[in-house]
Structure 1
Amino acid sequence: MRKHLVWLALASMWACTPSGYHLTNRTAKRIGVDSVAAAADSSVANFLIPYRQGVDKSMSEVLTTSTGPIEKGLPDAPLNDLLTDALLKQASQRYGKPIDCAHLNYGGIRDNLPKGNITIGSVFEVMPFDNQLVVLTMTGSMLQQFLNHFASGHGLVVGGIRLKIHDKQVQSVTFANGRTLQPNETYTVALSDYIANGGDSADFLSNAVKRENMNYLIRDALIDYFRQQGKTGQPLTPASDGRISIE
């Protein structure tokens, strides 16, 4: 045991003693690696072929069709309405009971939907992020703050609700289920975990009455909705119902 301790002490002293070496010069050379400088590895490319074919096949699945391009815009637009209505429907099914309204952050809608076939790939282009569906229970006063927050600069995109905006403040809020916004009542809102976690400066949502994680990607909710629509045999028709108006 003592022998081991002696060796340990010597090793520690040696490690702490300067070796006498120091850096006097350093040179560097940039080596570019791209498709020109480095040829593709055919064995790797061949290995990936079946996986690429599987992804391409999945992304090419036609969910439904549209009679025209479906585009986003402010204060309201066909894509805004379609996506939030789809989210509200799928969220209510997942939740097991009606939800008062749905919200999507405008910046998270990354593309428009095309005329003709709407594929899984189309939905990925619109919603490329793996945001999870969350249901928040809010008081009416918090929901008012939430609506005002997005109406004042971030872009308000909602489903299941109609409202007017005056001087960047939300007024005349009416829900599709007939409810009106009352400060002391509670409401359920389907939205992304990004916003529920305080994204777009919505950190005040940490004080919501209740938070419920649905373990359901918003993108998957949209895919499920469009697939159901496709089974009806009726194409989508781009339209905005004027749920948000500015006075």
Structure 2
Amino acid sequence: MKKISILFLVFSLWACSENPKTLSKIDAQQIQISDSIAKNKELEDFIAPYRERITEEMEGVLAYTPEAMYKSDAKFNTPIGNMMADAVMEMANPIFENRTGNKIDAVILNYGGIRSGINAGDISTRTAYNIMPFENEVAVAAFSSEELRALINYLAKNKTAHPIAGLQVILNADGDLHEAKVNGEQIQNKTYYVATSDYLIKGGDRMDFFLNAEKVETLDYKLRNLFIDYFKKKDTIAPVRDERFIQLQN
């Protein structure tokens, strides 16, 4: 049951009409709203076609996945996280390259930002809203090699399946950083371009290294819309867990 407080403002008037109105008293009353209150048929009839149109749009099939994907599937990298990071790399890179002449080297999103799993079967627009209900947009940070190493050290220390692409992070059996590469190469002394969300670009999830970015380019492309476009582009979504973030065994 929801309670809505409705404020009733009571004004007193002076005897002379030329005097202004002044606030004399404020009264508040709680009106309880529940499903026992009858629906307004006129309002329901007005809303119905819009509700049907939105439902049709949200349930429209965009792609298909043969297997369910959840962020709890594995420890260091997961199919759903890999899919999301790869989608950002594939869909955002052409926009960034067209604007700047540079290519995105790596992608990192946050584990906590994956708000739902994806069930086996049809993937719809609603699926994109479920996994990314926020209004976050894609942003690309220009990193020095030092800040890129700070990002990698964060992953190694955090040991969480944050979605990444373009990076390979390998921990030794003790959980310490063993090796890290960008697009299959050792880190060099140059500028790297890392795509992420505008939430993380501000240091969200304690990713403070983004605050030291040399430059930030916001793409005006919501992550949710990016995933919708990615699903439309693909017939079947079948990502797997791979070697992008792993821990070696004894």
Q: In which range does the TM-score fall when normalised by the shorter chain?
A: 0.7 to 0.9
- The answer for unaligned runs of 5 or more in structure 1 is 1-10, 16-20
Pairs within 5 Å for 1:167-186: 170-176=177-183, 178-182=184-188, 184-186=189-191
238 and 146 in structure 1: CA distance in 2 versus 1, 3 angstrom threshold: closer
Secondary structure at the aligned position of 1:128 is classed as coil
Moved more, 187-196 or 144-153: 144-153
108 and 128 in structure 1: CA distance in 2 versus 1, 3 angstrom threshold: same
Secondary structure at the aligned position of 1:146 is classed as helix
Counterpart of 1:59? 58
Letter in 2 for 1:82: M
Counterpart of 1:159? 165
Which runs of 4 or more aligned residues in structure 1 lie more than 6 Å from their structure 2 counterparts after TM superposition? Answer: none
Q: For 2:153 and 2:53, locate their aligned partners in 1 and report how far apart those are by CA, in whole Å.
A: 44
Letter in 1 for 2:170: K
171 and 187 in structure 1: CA distance in 2 versus 1, 3 angstrom threshold: farther
Q: Does 1:229 align with 2:230?
A: no
- The answer for unaligned runs of 5 or more in structure 2 is 1-18
Counterpart of 1:220? 225
Q: Does 1:100 align with 2:126?
A: no
Q: Does 1:241 align with 2:247?
A: no
Secondary structure at the aligned position of 1:99 is classed as coil
CA shift at 1:149, angstroms?
Answer: 2.4
Match of 1:136 among 135, 141, 144: 141
Per-residue CA deviation, residues 88-140 of structure 1 (Å, 9 max, x unaligned), is: 11110211253101111100001111211011101111111110100001111
CA shift at 1:187, angstroms?
Answer: 0.6
Q: Does 1:82 align with 2:83?
A: yes
CA shift at 1:242, angstroms?
Answer: 2.4
Q: For 2:175 and 2:144, locate their aligned partners in 1 and report how far apart those are by CA, in whole Å.
A: 21
Moved more, 42-51 or 218-227: 42-51
Q: Is the 8 A contact 1:103 1:157 kept in 2?
A: yes
Q: Whose strand proportion is higher, 1 or 2?
A: 2
CA shift at 1:180, angstroms?
Answer: 2.0
Structure of higher CA gyration radius? 1
TM-score (norm 1): 0.80
Q: For 1:151 and 1:42, locate their aligned partners in 2 and report how far apart those are by CA, in whole Å.
A: 58
Q: For 1:154 and 1:130, locate their aligned partners in 2 and report how far apart those are by CA, in whole Å.
A: 27
Percentage of identical aligned residues = 29
When the two chains are superposed, the root-mean-square deviation of aligned CA atoms in Å is 2.5
Per-residue CA deviation, residues 73-100 of structure 1 (Å, 9 max, x unaligned), is: 3211111111101111111021125310
Secondary structure at the aligned position of 2:199 is classed as helix
